[in-house]
Amino acid sequence: MKLYNTLTKSVEEFVPHEAGKVKMYTCGPTVYHFAHIGNLRTYIMEDVLEKTFRYLGYDVTRVMNVTDVGHLTSDGDTGEDKMLKGAKREKKTVLEIAEFYKNAFFGDCAKLNIKTPDIVQPATGCIPEFIAMVETLIEKDYAYFAEGNVYFDTSKARDYYELSGHNTEELMVGVREDVSEDTNKRNKSDFVLWFTKSKFDDQELKWDSPWGVGYPGWHIECSGICMKYLGEYLDIHCGGVDNIFPHHTNEIAQSEAYVGHKWCNYWFHVQHLNDERGKMSKSSGEFLTLSLLESKGYDPLAYRLFCLQSHYRKPLTFSYPNIDNAGASYAKLIKRISALSREGAPDADAVKAYHDKFAEAIALDMNTAQGLTVLYDMLKDRSLSDATKLAIARDFDTVLSLNLVREVKHEEAPVVDEADAWIVAKIEERAAAKKAKNYALADAIRAELAEQGITLIDSKTGTTFKKA
Ligand code: AMP
Ligand code: ZN
């Protein structure tokens, strides 16, 4: 497997710490609102990544957090708490909001055939772990307490800007959005590990800590949850490109300070989905959710295909004509596969040859568009029987997850001539008698019909009849 690594800014051979095993971490959703289809692009491509690893024979353990506390609107230490904002908007408690939008998120994932990671952990369930981590960072002199909050001292990090390529002169993303700079910080880029003093006196969720009652910063959540389940060495960490700075940059700084060695070797980032005006937003313009697309008649899997048609490292523009095209391609693809005959056995050698071809395409920096080309080429390949094509499509679909091969629907019940309705009624009466174990009556009905030249045919799906 070759992958682009944001850390080294090059496409590299993927070598996990332990041969054949992948420890994978994904930044989960902040559950203060519905996910927009841009967020879902990231989760679709991460799902393909996990399934690609599995397709190539790796044993994957994947962990995802759910952010239900600590994520401020700026992604840094300024702005409002997103959860609190959601709760105020809907006049509900933070926990109610979290539960509702967590379920909505996993509902969207199910519709998009996104597999739920092996472990999903809400941040509010790991507060003691975050506190323990912050305590260690203070002991190791990487963190300091100032005016109620605990901060990470970024000047002590090994190479703070390694991932993002920023430099110290640049302002933090957060500070740009909200100019009220925190004067307690030793360095402009320092970030909060634990808040006790903040402008949100009405913060609903608070926990006791050695520094007073408060709540964790967003960044420590991911490091803490990741290490709790995957240990000190992580193979690959994923997210959207906006996570690179400050979130992942801060995760690296605090995690490496905590474990005392390099923590994660590969960083995988999905480029943004934009609308025609630019960045996708939950607060301005049309709030593009999966439910909105469904209400306009789009199949969620057409949206999945739309994402797979492009490389994950290229920005993608959403527009209705674009999704219309993807929808038409999807319908055509399903129709074509549905028309394949299910008779006969697949040719195992051909299935293996195509498995290898598909693996080669997606193992090269997860080239899903090339994977789809292999699928279309395979469907056109005249040397393959229908049964072989179906077997190959099923195999590719373990990664693509487009429901390419649909189960054959049972034959519709034949339309019965009105004059024969009495026979159907007799059949129903016989079925009811059988169910009640009144076999004498059931047999009598069969005999009565036989006298009229009507033979009953019983099968797994029910009873039909034939007239002499
Ligand atoms: P959030 O729920 O805001 O924490 O974001 C969830 C995921 O969506 C993160 O991995 C983000 O990096 C990602 N994301 C945010 N906006 C976009 C976008 N427009 N396109 C693709 N991914 C995005
Ligand atoms: Zn994260």
CB under 8 A, 24+ apart: contacts of 198-203: 198/149, 200/80, 200/81, 200/84, 202/84, 203/81, 203/84
Tokens of 147: 């005016």
Query: Residue 284 falls within a domain, yes or no?
Result: no
- Residue position matching structure tokens 């527009």: 319
Query: Residue 287 falls within a domain, yes or no?
Result: no
Predicted TM-score (pTM) of the model is 0.86
385/423 same-domain check: no
Comparing CA positions, the residue from 141, 130, 128 lying closest to residue 194 is 130
161/200 same-domain check: yes
60/183 same-domain check: yes
Q: Which residue, 368, 400, 432, sits at the end of a domain?
A: 400
pLDDT in tens, the chain (468 residues): 999 999 999 999 999 999 999 999 999 999 999 999 999 999 999 999 999 999 999 999 999 999 998 788 777 777 778 888 899 999 999 899 999 999 999 999 999 999 999 999 999 999 999 999 999 999 999 999 998 999 999 999 988 989 998 876 554 444 434 445 788 899 999 999 999 876 666 677 889 999 999 999 999 999 999 999 999 999 999 999 999 999 999 999 999 999 999 999 999 999 999 998 888 877 777 899 999 999 999 999 999 999 999 999 999 999 999 999 999 999 999 999 999 999 999 999 999 999 999 999 999 999 999 999 999 999 999 999 999 999 999 999 999 999 999 876 555 555 667 778 888 888 988 988 888 888 889 999 999 999 989 999 888 778 888 888
Instruction: In whole angstroms, give the CA distance from residue 362 to residue 53.
Output: 10
CB under 8 A, 24+ apart: contacts of 333-340: 333/305, 333/375, 333/402, 333/404, 334/403, 334/404, 334/406, 336/379, 337/379, 337/389, 337/390, 337/393, 337/404, 337/405, 337/406, 338/406, 340/386, 340/387, 340/389, 340/390
Q: Sort 456 into a burial class: Cβ within 10 Å, 0-12 / 13-18 / 19+.
A: middle
Asked if residue 70 has its Cβ within 6 Å of ligand 1, the reply is no
Query: Residue 163 falls within a domain, yes or no?
Result: yes
388/426 same-domain check: no
Query: Residue 279 falls within a domain, yes or no?
Result: no
222/161 same-domain check: yes
How high is the pLDDT of residue 412?
A: 52
Q: CB atoms < 10 A from the CB of 367, how many?
A: 17
437/343 same-domain check: no
How high is the pLDDT of residue 83?
A: 87
Query: Residue 286 falls within a domain, yes or no?
Result: no
How far are the Cα atoms of 212, 433, 456 from residue 437, in angstroms, in the given order? 72, 6, 18
Q: Which residue, 353, 370, 400, sits at the end of a domain?
A: 400
Asked if residue 65 has its Cβ within 6 Å of ligand 1, the reply is no
241/305 same-domain check: no
Asked if residue 272 has its Cβ within 6 Å of ligand 1, the reply is yes
How high is the pLDDT of residue 175?
A: 42
Asked if residue 86 has its Cβ within 6 Å of ligand 1, the reply is no
Comparing CA positions, the residue from 163, 316, 169, 308 lying closest to residue 243 is 163
78/174 same-domain check: yes
How high is the pLDDT of residue 415?
A: 62
For residues 27 and 239, is the Cβ–Cβ distance under 8 A? yes
386/239 same-domain check: no
Q: Which residue, 400, 432, 459, sits at the end of a domain?
A: 400
Nearest CA to ligand 1 atom 23: 39
205/353 same-domain check: no
34/101 same-domain check: yes
* CATH number of residue 30's parent domain: 3.40.50.620
Distance 270 CA to ligand 1 centre (A): 9
Asked if residue 242 has its Cβ within 6 Å of ligand 1, the reply is yes
Nearest CA to ligand 1 atom 5: 29
For residues 235 and 265, is the Cβ–Cβ distance under 8 A? yes
Nearest CA to ligand 1 atom 15: 39
* CATH number of residue 376's parent domain: 1.20.120.1910
Domain total of the chain: 3
21/163 same-domain check: yes
How high is the pLDDT of residue 78?
A: 76
Query: Residue 275 falls within a domain, yes or no?
Result: no
Q: Are strands 21-26 and 234-240 parallel, antiparallel or unpaired?
A: parallel
Distance 235 CA to ligand 2 centre (A): 15
Domain span at residue 10?
A: 2-270
How high is the pLDDT of residue 416?
A: 67
Query: Residue 409 falls within a domain, yes or no?
Result: no
How far are the Cα atoms of 361, 415, 424, 434, 456 from residue 463, in angstroms, in the given order? 49, 14, 9, 12, 7
Question: Strand pairing partners for 466?
Answer: 455
For residues 37 and 273, is the Cβ–Cβ distance under 8 A? yes
Query: Residue 290 falls within a domain, yes or no?
Result: no
Rg (alpha carbons) of the chain, rounded to whole number: 28
How high is the pLDDT of residue 177?
A: 42
Which of 27, 31, 32, 42 is the best mutation target for the ligand 1 pocket, counting ligand atoms within 8 Å of the beta carbon and taking the most?
42
Which of 46, 85, 242 is the best mutation target for the ligand 1 pocket, counting ligand atoms within 8 Å of the beta carbon and taking the most?
242
